[in-house]
Amino acid sequence: MNQEPHPNELPLQVLDLQIGYRDKRREVRLSGALRFGLPRGSLNAVVGVNGVGKSTLLRTLSGMHPPLSGELLIEGTPLEKLPLERRAQLLSIVLTEPLASQHLRVRELVGLGRYPYTNWLGQLSPEDLKGVEEALRKMELEAIAGQPCHTLSDGQLQRALIARALAQDTPLMLLDEPTTHLDLYHKVKILKLLKEIAHSTRKTILFSTHEIGLAIQLCDQILVLQPATARFGTPCELIEAGCFEALFPADTIRFDAESGYFRVTK
Amino acid sequence: MALLLVMLGVALLANLSLGSVYIPLKATLEILAGGEAARESWGYIIWNYRLPKALTALLVGSGLSLSGLLMQTLFRNPLAGPFVLGVSSGASLGAALLIMGASLLAGGSSAWLVNDVSLALASGFGSLVVLLTVLLVSARLKDAMALLIVGLMFGSITAALVTVLSYFAPAEQLQQYIFWSYGSLGNLGWGQLGLLGVFCLVGTAIGLGLVKALNALLLGEKYAQSLGISLSRTRAWIILGTGLLAGGITAFAGPIAFIGLAVPHLTRQLLRSQDHRVLLPGVLLYGGILMLFCDLVAQLPFSAYVLPINAITSLVGAPVVIWLLVRRRRMIF
């Protein structure tokens, strides 16, 4: 492990967090207890097989789903102590589900990201408008800012959704599988944009993905979720520790540590 | 928006001037300005009959359209209207219990019980009971869709109860109930009109206070929550606002169909916007205009007949919606 960063430099800190579901009869624990902190200005990925709890983790971190136990600190404050209005200024999300209204124009969509800062009518101040234009520019959306969302391609829509979260101007940004439905070129493009944002605006970004190979190449840190354990570290540390070998059954796919890619077992 | 305002003025004047007795526009304006009427009967007709009716139409059209907009945004469902939560079925049950239930229990001597005021009270009480039940249930439901189904179920239950009542009711009471269910704009005196105005004003104020939350809901419930909007609080306010508007209106004017469902769509098409800061005044104006126009048609100018308003709203409104959809090919929602 590299040197421990100061807690002030960790916008998101998770202490022995146990995620899962609880109903009347039983408790379903997903993964092991989690303990990690995400440094300011870093791009981080959550990887793991289907059903291991990536989405549940993101929903827990964004406060939409309660944890079974453990602590979750956003900028040093426990999440449950933050009122909704304050949360909205610290944490923004990008979801996989479609927008409720497909007829919003891209600029309107991005403008809704400014809501935590507006008055009771939701009117955008000149400063808000500047933030909107800035987000549009960063996500390369200026040319299509006037189009309704239903006319966008999957890649454009994903960039518009990220621009909305960007306009919300939060230190922490959580994205659920931002690269699904995209071809390789657009996957890489989205992830490079995210990396650029994380480093240039000092935002902390966490996204879930199935693109482990791309995550290894582009992310600062990766969280590997497995049914009983979880490992967090830089891609190199995780490769050296052999974390990716055990991710999938070896008779189907094996991890090639040399190239940092998975290969089909022949 | 300015166009809508002008159209509202025109619709209002046309509504006042046309009817079984034609009153020239000039005379209408003079009477409204407080001047002496050319004929005494004209002044009486305007002040005691047509103006209260026109204002009722305005309130009913605006209020139902706004509650329809609230429901459509809350449920993200283009088929939602002001009555999906069972407000009108509650009102129908209240009215049916009063009209038909009283005669079943007290025999023929109960006719004195049924009048405009007691009908308004009974249907208002019916809506309130259903509304409170829905509010209670909604606190236990996570999913807005489930709430929609619950509202529909309540509607079915009350409709079934009304059917049972009608089955046993004497023909005369049954007819009275059916007339109530046609809806009517002309039964309100100035006092009742004032009360209806208060309901609509408070409902509109609630709607105005919800504008920001409604816009956030355009993204979906989870995004809205991530923007700092409390879903449970917003839902409760929307139900309350809709209840005041739709419940109050149904109590005084009967269950008026179609307007609340259609006007939000018509307004989105006209204003080409999804922003509730634009839509909210838009539906209020558009709803008022459409209702005044429907009322104008219903009173069949130059004849002594008055058609049931409930039939006219659908007869006039439905073709307009179909025409708009076919012409534009695409619904804005």
Q: Residue A164 pLDDT more than 60?
A: yes
Q: How many domains does chain B have?
A: 1
Q: How far is B185 from chain A (nearest CA, A)?
A: 33
Is B216 within 8 Å of chain A by CB? yes
Q: Touching check for A122 and chain B: CB below 8 Å?
A: yes
**pLDDT single digits (tens) A128-153:** 999 999 999 999 999 999 999 999 99
Identify the three-state secondary structure at position A36: strand
Determine the residue type at B77.
Answer: N
Q: What is the pLDDT of residue B35?
A: 76
Task: Determine whether B330 is exposed, middle or buried from the number of CB atoms within 10 Å of its CB (0-12, 13-18, 19+).
Answer: exposed
Residue B123: predicted pLDDT: 85
Question: Considering only alpha carbons, which residue of chain A is nearest residue B280?
Answer: A121
Measured between beta carbons, the chain A residues lying within 8 angstroms of B212 are 115, 118, 120-122
Residue B295 lies in a domain: yes
pLDDT-wise least confident of A133-142, A159-168, A201-210, B249-258: B249-258
Structure confidence at residue A7 (pLDDT): 64
Q: Between chains, do B222 and A97 touch, taking CB under 8 Å as contact?
A: yes
Q: Would residue B163 count as lying in a domain?
A: yes
- Rounded to 5 degrees, φ, ψ at B266 are -60, -40
Locate tokens 């009209």: which residue?
Answer: B99
Contact criterion met (CB < 8 Å) for A113 and B227? yes
Between the alpha carbon of residue A71 and those of residues A57, A85, A226, B210, the distances in Å are 13, 20, 20, 34
CA-CA distance, B21 to B254, in Å (whole number)? 25
Best interface-test mutation with B: which of A58, A59, A84 has the largest number of B CBs within 10 A?
A: A84
Return the minimum-mean-pLDDT range out of A39-48, B29-38, B43-52.
Answer: B29-38
Give tens-digit pLDDT for A56-109.
999 999 999 999 999 999 999 999 999 999 999 999 999 998 888 888 999 999
Across the A:B interface, residue pairs with CB atoms under 8 Å apart total 81
* Chain A, window 95-114: residues with a beta carbon less than 8 angstroms from a chain B beta carbon: 95, 97-101, 103-104, 108-109, 112-113
The CA distance from A102 to the nearest CA of chain B, in Å, is: 7
Residues of A in contact with B332 (CB under 8 A): 103
The reported pLDDT for the residue numbered B111 is: 62
Residue A190 CB contacts under 8 Å (≥ 6 apart), including other chains: A155, A158, A159, A162, A178, A179, A182
Number of Cβ atoms within 10 Å of the Cβ of B5: 12
Angle B298-B263-B209 from CA coordinates, rounded to 5°: 125
Chain B nearest-CA residue for A87: B228
Q: Residue B176 gets which letter from DSSP?
A: H
Task: Tell me whether B332 touches chain A (CB under 8 Å).
Answer: yes
Contact yes or no for B236/B138 (Cβ under 8 A): yes
Partner-chain contact B226 A92, CB within 8 Å: yes
Kindly tell me the burial class for residue B231, based on how many C-beta atoms sit within 10 Å of its own C-beta (0-12, 13-18, 19 or more). middle
Instruction: Express each pLDDT in B99-153 by its tens digit.
Output: 887 777 665 555 666 777 788 888 888 888 888 888 888 778 877 788 888 888 8
Whether B225 contacts chain A with CB within 8 A: yes
Residue of B69, B214, B219 to mutate, interface with A, max A Cβ within 10 Å: B219
Question: Which of B219, B221, B228 lies at the smallest CB-CB distance from A116?
Answer: B228
What contacts 24+ positions apart, CB below 8 Å, involve A220-224? A220/A39, A220/A42, A220/A43, A220/A44, A221/A38, A221/A39, A221/A42, A221/A44, A221/A45, A222/A44, A222/A45, A222/A46, A222/A47, A223/A34, A223/A36, A223/A44, A223/A45, A223/A46, A223/A47, A224/A47, A224/A48
With CA atoms as reference, the chain B residue closest to A116 would be B227
pLDDT digits (tens, 9 = 90+) for B284-332: 999 999 999 999 988 877 777 888 888 888 888 788 778 877 876 666 7
pLDDT of B127 reads: 85
Calculate the dihedral angle through the C-alpha atoms of B232, B238, B243, B244, rounding to the nearest 10 degrees.
Answer: 120
pLDDT: is B134 or A19 the higher one?
Answer: A19
Instruction: With beta carbons under 8 A apart, name residues in chain A contacting B222.
Output: 64, 93, 95, 97
Q: What is the pLDDT of residues B229-263, one digit of tens each?
A: 999 899 989 988 998 899 889 988 988 888 998 99
The pLDDT value given to residue B323: 82
| Domain membership of residue B298 as a residue range | 2-328
Q: ipTM strictly over 0.90?
A: yes
Shortest distance between the Cα of B234 and any Cα of chain A, in A, equals 13
pLDDT tens column, B185-225: 888 888 889 999 999 999 999 999 999 999 999 999 999 99
Q: Are B331 and B78 in contact (CB under 8 A)?
A: yes
Determine, yes or no, domain membership for B333. no
Residue A3: is its pLDDT beyond 60?
no
For residue A163, which amino acid is it? A
How far is A179 from chain B, CA to nearest CA, in Å?
A: 19
Contacts of A168 in chain B (CB under 8 A): 227
Contact between chains at A113 and B217 (C-beta distance less than 8 A): no
Residue with tokens 């004003």: B201
- The 10s digit of each residue's pLDDT in B272-296 is 889 999 999 999 999 999 999 999 9
Cβ distance A100 to B230 less than 8 Å, yes or no, reads no
* Percent of chain A with pLDDT strictly greater than 90: 73
| CATH architecture entry for A7-264 | 3-Layer(aba) Sandwich (3.40)
The CATH code of the domain that includes B72 is 1.10.3470.10
Residue A1 has pLDDT above 50, yes or no: no
Tell me the pLDDT tens digit for each residue of A110-123: 999 999 999 999 89
Neighbours of B78 (CB within 10 A): 14
